[in-house]
Amino acid sequence: MAGPYTDADRRRPFDEAPKSRQRTPFERDRARILHSSALRRLGAKTQVLGPASDDFVRTRLTHTLEVAQVGRELGKALGCDPDVVDAACLAHDLGHPPFGHNGERALAEVSASIGGFEGNAQTLRLLTRLEPKVIDPVSGRAVGLNLTRASLDASVKYPWSAADAPPRPDGTPSGKFGVYDDDADVFAWLREGAPVRVRCLEAQVMDLADDISYSVHDVEDAVVGGRLALDVLDDAEVRAHVAEVVHDWYGAAVSTEDLEAAMRRLPTLQPWVRGYDGSRRALAALKDMTSQLIGRFAGAAIDATRARYGPGPLTRYAAQLVVPPADLAEILVLKGLAARYVMAPREHEPLYRRQREILAELVVLLADRAPDALEVPFQADWAEAADDAARLRVVVDQVASLTDVSAAEWHARLHPPRG
């Protein structure tokens, strides 16, 4: 097969019988993720606001589809295989638990003694172990979707374990990692020949598509939901506070001065929306702003990367994605606005505290009643677990697989209210 991808890139962890030649291996990877049960569950998992909070609000699934659209076009413009990037984008949030990052935090706390919980590491575990598609004929164990090396590597946002995690650019701990210790073997296989702690270009494209999508779309949701008016950036005090939020939530890689310049620049853009009133005209204007910002950020990255590396296909480790500092600052400002007006206020709401309690209590309840209380696939994992730590990981896998609704329902069934 011609092209910049090698036979090693197209190899799968476990050999499979020859398939139809009508589709490439990477097209099959994308299809496997698209048809997975884990992807379907994202439709009932929180992105920023809960799926039941509003008919308009994005779920984790709609966010994923938007990331895939942005990533596919961005990757194609750089010469990446569009299906590799698309597969990585579709997979990037599969490991996220009920209640979004709120749930991730709860599971990280209850699993601290066994290496913690991280949505990106859970994604790799799901792709290579938990999602039923392929069985190893020798051991009889499930090996997940058995994706190609290129697609698996592209889905790894943080190519390191918790112990090897580098600090953020400002020197603070990132707390982000992409593999649990007991998934180290398949991680070593997919990273064969890759530079240590360096993401392939397709993974960088996926990550930027994710940043662009949720920064722009979270702001759109916040405006429509009445939580944010975009003219707040006219206020110097607000700008100062947004810069603080950016540094608190995302690190200090971009200076306050650069963030301030971005906050002065964004409101001068032609599509910037002021005076949103919920009318169709206002909704259309907001959607136009969303589209133009996505085009602005993606186009800037394409132009800057091409300026450094020239024409021709750019794949795997042949290039690093270049994001101009000014555009990075603008993306961070949008993320800071969403954090300031949506995510930070909800931390103190009783609902969000209760969500963390539900997941923590559910882990305890299931651990106490396992294996019978677990779904059949996880009962088998429990039976194969070698010790208490491995059994706790099985319970966390089970809880992470649930949706917002099913987690609440399981908790209510296993922990009925007193009285």
User: What is the rounded CA–CA span in Å between residue 249 and residue 109?
Assistant: 19
Beta strands, E only, 206-354: none
Q: In this predicted model, what pLDDT tens digit does every residue of 348-389 receive, in sequence order?
A: 678 888 999 999 999 999 999 999 999 999 999 999 999 999
Q: What is the pTM of this model?
A: 0.92
pLDDT at 54 over 60: no
Predicted local confidence at residue 52, as pLDDT? 46
**251 — pLDDT class (breaks 50, 70, 90):** confident
**Residue 142 β-bridge partners:** 135
**3 — pLDDT class (breaks 50, 70, 90):** low
Find out whether 226 and 341 touch, Cβ atoms under 8 Å: no
CA 365 and chain centroid, separation? 28
Count CB neighbours of 274 within 10 A: 11
For residues 183-201, give the mean pLDDT: 96
pLDDT at 38 over 50: yes
Predicted local confidence at residue 122, as pLDDT? 97
Find out whether 173 and 165 touch, Cβ atoms under 8 Å: yes
- 115 vs 112, 189, 396, CA distance in Å? 5, 21, 12
Q: What is the DSSP letter of 12?
A: -
Count CB neighbours of 233 within 10 A: 19
Query: What torsion do the CA atoms of 204, 209, 214, 217 make, to the nearest 10 degrees?
Result: 170
User: What percent of the chain is modeled with pLDDT above 90?
Assistant: 77
For residues 31-41, give the mean pLDDT: 95
Count CB neighbours of 254 within 10 A: 23
- 409 vs 48, 403, 412, CA distance in Å? 21, 10, 5
pLDDT at 21 over 80: no
Q: Going from the N-terminus, what domains does the chain have, and what CATH number goes with each?
A: 7-15+22-190 (1.10.3210.10), 230-346 (no CATH), 351-414 (no CATH)
pLDDT at 418 over 70: no
Find out whether 126 and 38 touch, Cβ atoms under 8 Å: yes
Report the chain's mean pLDDT, rounded to a whole number.
91
pLDDT at 66 over 90: yes
**57 — pLDDT class (breaks 50, 70, 90):** low
Diameter of the chain by CA atoms? Answer: 70
pLDDT at 53 over 50: no
User: What is the rounded CA–CA span in Å between residue 323 and residue 129?
Assistant: 34
Q: Please, what's the b/e burial string for 199-224 (b: 16 or more CB within 10 A of its CB; e: otherwise)? A: bbbbbbbbbbbbbbbbbbbbbbbbbb
User: What is the rounded CA–CA span in Å between residue 213 and residue 72?
Assistant: 13
Q: Residue 9 is encoded by which pair of tokens?
A: 């890139």
pLDDT at 404 over 80: yes
Helix-then-strand count for the chain, H and E: 19, 0
**17 — pLDDT class (breaks 50, 70, 90):** confident
Instruction: Kindly tell me the sign of the dihedral angle through the C-alpha atoms of 180, 181, 186, 189.
Output: positive
**Residue 161 β-bridge partners:** 179
Residue for token pair 């398939």: 19
Is the bond leading into 371 cis (omega within 30 degrees of zero)? yes
Count CB neighbours of 232 within 10 A: 17
More confident residue, 350 or 36: 36
Predicted local confidence at residue 135, as pLDDT? 85
Q: In this predicted model, what pLDDT tens digit does every residue of 279-325 receive, in sequence order?
A: 999 999 999 999 999 999 999 999 999 999 999 999 999 999 999 99
User: What is the rounded CA–CA span in Å between residue 301 and residue 327?
Assistant: 8
For residues 229-243, give the mean pLDDT: 94
User: What is the rounded CA–CA span in Å between residue 30 and residue 40?
Assistant: 14
